[in-house]
Structure 1
C-alpha cells in the first residue's frame, strides 16, 4: 500500500472513531442508551482497525501523527454534529434589570414557557426568569432576549429530567392532535 494512502486511511479511521465516540457519549447523556450501545459496536470495530494499522506500521511516524490528528479532528467534527443534533432540553435563567414583568410577558407572547419572580441583585430589584425549551431553540432565545433587553444576563444549562408543568401539558396536547 502506498504510504500516503495509508496515512489518509489512518487519519480517516481515527476521525471516524472519535466522531462516533463523541456522538455516542452525547446520546448516552441525553438518555438514548440503546442507540449509543448500537453505535459503540461500530466505534470499537473502527478503532481496532485504525490501531491495528498504526501498530503494524509503527516505524513510520507519519502514521502515528495521522492517527493523532484524526483524533483531534474527530473531536471537532463530533462537537459540530452535536450542535446540529441539538438533542434534549435547555433551561435558561434570565436576569433583567427591568422588574416590571414586561420581558416575561413578551417572551410568553413569543411562545416560551416562562416562570418569573422578583429577585434582589447587587444594584437592587431584578426580574428573574426561568425558561425551558428544546435545545434547538436556544440560540433563537438568546437573540430574542438580546433584542428585547440588551442588558439582560442569561445563563443556560442542559435539563435532563422534566416532570410536570407547562412542557408536559404542551407535549400531551401535541400528541392528542
Structure 2
C-alpha cells in the first residue's frame, strides 16, 4: 500500500518536472531534444496514470497523484532556474549621464550598448546589456552596487542578428 503511494508520487513528480523542462527546451527552439524528452515524458505519464487507475479503490492515491503534480511543477521550475538556459537582455536606465556604469559592466565581461535619453525628470543614460541567464543575478547585483536607483527591465530575446554577440550565441 505505501509502496504504490510512493510510486505514484515519485512518478508524477518526475513526469511533471520533465514536462516543464521539455516545454522550456521547446520554447528555446530545440525541437529535436524536446521531441526526445517527450517520449520519456509520455512513458512516465502512462506509468503513473495506470498505477492510479489500477488502484482507484483508495481515495488517497488520487490525492497523491495530484500532490505529485504540484510538487513536479515546483521541482521543474527549480531545475530550470538552476539550468538558466539561454540569454537575457537587461535594459538599465540610470539618472547619471556621466555614469561610469557602462565601462564597469564591460570590465566585468558584459556586452553593453549605451545612449542618452530623456526621461520625465531630465537626461538619462540607457544601457542594453545582453548576457547569459546564468549571469543575470551577478549583473543585477553589479547594477545595484553602481546605482541603487537605476530602473531595470529584463526580457528574453529570441532572435539574434548582427553584432559581436552573434558568434558567441551560436
Task: Flag whether TM exceeds 0.5 (same fold).
Answer: yes
- Contact kept? 1:25, 1:36, Cα under 8 Å: yes
SS in 1 for 2:154: strand
How far off its partner does 1:82 sit? 0.5
The ranges of structure 1 where at least 4 consecutive aligned residues each deviate by more than 2 angstroms after the TM superposition are none
CA RMSD of aligned residues (A): 1.5
- Contact kept? 1:95, 1:152, Cα under 8 Å: yes
| Equivalence for 1:46 | 44
Alignment: residue pair count: 170
SS in 1 for 2:164: helix
| Equivalence for 2:87 | 89
Aligned mate of 1:23, from 12, 21, 35: 21
Using the size of structure 1 for normalisation, the TM-score is 0.91
Using the size of structure 2 for normalisation, the TM-score is 0.95
- 1:71-119 residue CA offsets vs partner (Å, 9 max, x unmatched): 0010111111101111111000001011114211221222211111111
Please list every run of 5 or more consecutive structure 1 residues that lacks an aligned counterpart in the other structure. none
- Contact kept? 1:88, 1:160, Cα under 8 Å: no
Aligned mate of 1:109, from 85, 107, 110: 107
Instruction: Describe how 1:3-152 pairs up with structure 2 within 5 A.
Output: 3-152=1-150
Please list every run of 5 or more consecutive structure 2 residues that lacks an aligned counterpart in the other structure. none
